[in-house]
Amino acid sequence: METSTSKSPRAASPSRTQALRFWERDPWSARLVVVMIALLIFFAAVRPQAFFSGRTWTSMAVQFPEFGLMALGVMVTMFTAGIDLSVVAIANVTAICTALTLRAVLTPEVSATNSLMAVAIALGTALVVGIVCGAINGLLIAKLKIPAILATLGTLELFGGIAIVLTGGKPVSGVPKAYGAVFAAKIGGVVPMALIVFILCALVAGALLALTSFGKEILMLGTNETAARFSGMKISSLLVRTYVMSGVLAAMAGLVMLANYNSAKADYGATYTLLTVLIVVLGGVNPNGGKGRLLGVLLSILMLQVLSSGLNMFSGISNFYRPLIWGAVLLFVITVNEMNIRNPLERFLPGRNKS
Amino acid sequence: MSTASAASTPTRAPRAAAGPLSKWTGRLWRTNEFWVFVVIIVLALVIQVRSGQFFTANNLVDIAGAMVVPGIFAVGAHLVIVSGGIDVSFPALASLAVYATTRVLVDSGFAGPVIVPFAIAMCLGALLGAFNGVFTARLTVPTLIITLGTANVFSGVMQGALNSVQIPNIPQSMAAFGAAELFEATNTTSGLRSVLPMSFLLLVAVVAGAWFLTRRTMFGRGIFAIGGDEAAAERAGFKVKRIRFWLYVLVGVIAAIAGMVRTCAMGQMHPTNLLGMEMMVIAAVVLGGTAITGGTGSLTGVMLGTALIVIVQNSMILTGIPTFWQGFALGLLIIVGTGVSAVQVARSRGRRITAA
């Protein structure tokens, strides 16, 4: 952020502030920040009691990690010009497997060692399920060359089907308390564990994307597959790793869902399939691959949660309007993005007179 | 390559000289339709052996009747996929069009012939299809993402703005059409009666119309051309944007017909009844050999694919497999079916390149 990256020779104008530089470097994220601030101001002004209550904020922090983690998975696949529609099914399968394993291994009574074991078992199961499901997706896409939309549509049905077969379509309850004691806990009575899990996963994902060659390679694969192939990248292995990463993130979402609902069922979170795609596109990721930033996606996750929680403060607006709003936002964003309407404010920013 | 795919026909290009019969069988071997047909026959035999009930008159009529709604939807989905797109909004579109129609007619105490509700629903379907069409013609974003957005707008309008509830009493003529029977078949051993609904004729009409459109009109050829290679289609003189727009209008109309048939058959309007059907219909189309990348596919394949999925869904009970295995079986079918066709595409591409 310290170095100016603008191509314009007049960019070095000393009067420019940090915020303006951020705007110029990443106008998409900057726009999201502006929209989010506007939303926050609006809700703070119209519904101050609800807005300033701690409960609103805690419940927001519990809710968004579920679909936020899935969205991070969809994001990495969209970097490669693919898509992962199976994240919700992977999350549900994970939650069900974790619940069943925990129930089989742990006895109901709670003890300190049990908590530790619960975490170990849960994380272990989630990793195994996430890696296996992601690898199946990746192999179908990389080896059989099935288009990602179709392959993950098929595995969405398949994993969902497995989840139903495992449970007979009924919810799995009776999750040992030791699990909830850790994953549904609030640290210091305020910060929910779900948020911690999300932040950790986002940090790991961010580090993978920014610091390893993996991050650069998947963007390059999304930009131009032929060029990527000729530059000596192992496309199949890269694709499998991408979908495994998506699967593991979805599996983490499954752990969060299991903690939030205290039960697991094959069709929890069915509406998240669209929501995750919406988040990722709204976050500035190009559905045709090759372009996008983690920051934008994180901002868009937060923005949608603010919008959703804000709507909850208005009892007059029925929940059924939510798909309408989400759909309209998605259409609006892709249209604006495509039309490349330049921000009207841009003209007034200094040092921005590119022809 | 580009000109070849723009001119490609639903069936593969004939190979070099051979006897007419061996040419025909040789081509048959390589079609997806043939293999789907083989799978259906094998499945039917297995079910017959396990239950002894598959080849009974009433079971066959049941399957034909169950094919009507997914079959009509599948024709629409086929046209979109052939053009290189994918549409997941059609159940929401059909629900909204039919709900609005039924609501208005019930509230106004309509008592006219059944053609009126169909006409109104089809007009609404065209309008909603045009909404899809505007976006898909103008934007280069994958149509999956566009139609995900419009699907939510449609169901949001229906459930939020129109405050949809179940309508228990639909107009008399609609209910009568839903109950009208073409003929009925009786199982000689169990005495169970099954009725082939009148709406089966609508499925036949839609398929025939789509056949005429894709084989006999420039518009239909244009749909295939765009799916084969958009740039080549543009060069060949097809008005890509216009074709794409009218394609989505048409698909809206087809979806509205399917929704209307379903509502008539149920004898009541259930707003969310159709939602979630898109995955199954797309699976049927792709299983039937319509390439997801666009450009190839046939209506025969679409009907066979629909039949396969309907048989899988309908016959679980006959064979004593718990119905909760349905999702698993469907997912496996999609993966195997698309896997096979993906391998085929890769092979034929290799062949075309070496031939050129």
Task: Encode chain A (355 residues) as per-residue pLDDT tens digits.
Answer: 334 444 444 444 555 677 777 777 777 888 888 888 888 898 888 888 888 888 888 888 989 999 999 999 999 999 999 999 999 999 999 999 999 998 888 766 655 567 888 888 899 999 999 999 999 999 999 998 888 988 998 899 899 999 999 998 889 988 888 888 888 888 877 889 999 999 999 999 999 999 999 999 999 999 988 898 888 889 999 999 999 999 999 999 999 999 999 899 988 888 888 889 889 988 989 888 888 889 999 999 999 898 888 888 887 777 788 888 888 888 888 887 777 644 444 544 544 444 3
Q: Which of B147, B230, B334, B344 is the best residue to mutate to test the A interface, defined by the most A CB atoms within 10 Å of its own CB?
A: B334
Query: Cβ of A150 and B138 within 8 Å?
Result: no
pLDDT beyond 80 at B2: no
Distance CA A239, CA A81 (A): 11
The reply to whether B340 touches chain A by the CB within 8 Å rule is no
pLDDT (0 to 100) of residue A311: 84
pLDDT digits (tens, 9 = 90+) for B59-116: 899 999 999 999 999 999 999 999 999 899 999 999 999 999 999 999 998 888 999 9
The residue with tokens 């066709």 is B341
ipTM, two decimals: 0.81
Local structure of B34: helix, strand or coil? helix
CB-CB contact of B27 with B16 (8 Å): no
Local structure of B85: helix, strand or coil? coil
Distance CA B350, CA B49 (A): 41
Query: Cβ of A149 and B332 within 8 Å?
Result: no
Phi, psi of A290 (to 5 degrees): 85, -10
**No. of H helices and E strands in chain B?**
16, 2
Q: How many CB pairs under 8 A join A and B?
A: 155
CB-CB contact of A262 with A184 (8 Å): yes
pLDDT digits (tens, 9 = 90+) for B122-160: 999 999 999 999 999 988 888 988 998 999 899 989 988
Assign B354 a pLDDT band (cuts: 50, 70, 90). very low
pLDDT beyond 50 at B10: no
Local structure of B88: helix, strand or coil? coil
Q: Which of residues 64-103 of B touch A (CB under 8 A)?
A: 86
Q: Within 10 A of A132 (CB to CB), how many other CB atoms are there?
A: 16
Phi, psi of A314 (to 5 degrees): -105, 105
Q: Which of residues 82-141 of A touch B (CB under 8 A)?
A: 83, 140
Query: Cβ of A287 and B145 within 8 Å?
Result: yes
The reply to whether B165 touches chain A by the CB within 8 Å rule is no
**Distance to chain B for A16, nearest Cα, Å:** 35
DSSP β-bridge partners for residue B184? B195
Query: Cβ of B150 and A161 within 8 Å?
Result: no
